[in-house]
Amino acid sequence: MLTLVLCCSPAGYCQEKENPPESKQYLYTDDRRLPRNYKTEDPVFPVNPAILDDADSPWEDLGQGTKRKVFFNDRLTMVLLEINRPINPHEKMATHYHSHDQITYVLEGKVRVSVGDQCREIGSGGCYIVPSNVHHGMIPLSEKVIIMDIFTPVREDFRPKTSLREGPLWYYGFVANTVNAGTEVENK
């Protein structure tokens, strides 16, 4: 059964969209080595333009000292991930893969990253690039790590499962002071 979600902008534009089926799996942890996948199977949900301030997008608590903010465009997902926890020098790196291409930029802290057969430590300003279906993982090496993940196509599994009337609008990029073309904006 598909759930209809009402997507609304502050300007009042609304349309109904379908969430992906609950049974669809996006993330895998097995040992298979699959070829890159560039097929787009999910529908594209158009997103209104938005300009967001930090206060417009609350953090989602994922537990264990980890929180995130998720933003969507028509064909991209951006995730800010903040990890605050003690360093575990014995932590084993778990890897996973998905059909999405991913680029991750380290904004703060230091991490150990595995992508395919490569493993390396990188800090602030470092980046790792993960093509579709390539195994990858990351372990924080500092008590606070902030990273920015960019995914294409959209990570539908990161969208909320409830109606926007009940859930946070910021997931859809619709929380902003939307300005129509030709409208003057007052600088504050």
pLDDT digits (tens, 9 = 90+) for 107-149: 999 999 999 999 999 999 999 999 999 999 999 999 999 999 9
Which tokens go with 144?
């606070």
What residue segments make up the domains of the chain, in order of their start? Answer: 76-153
Q: Find the helix or strand (DSSP H, E) in which 130 lies.
A: strand 127-130
Which tokens go with 97?
């893969």
pTM: predicted TM-score of the whole model, two decimal places: 0.70
Cβ burial 117-149 (10 Å sphere, 16+ → b, else e): eeeeebeeebebebebbbbbbbbbbeeebebeb
pLDDT digits (tens, 9 = 90+) for 28-54: 778 888 887 777 766 777 888 889 898
Q: Which CATH architecture has domain 76-153?
A: Sandwich (2.60)
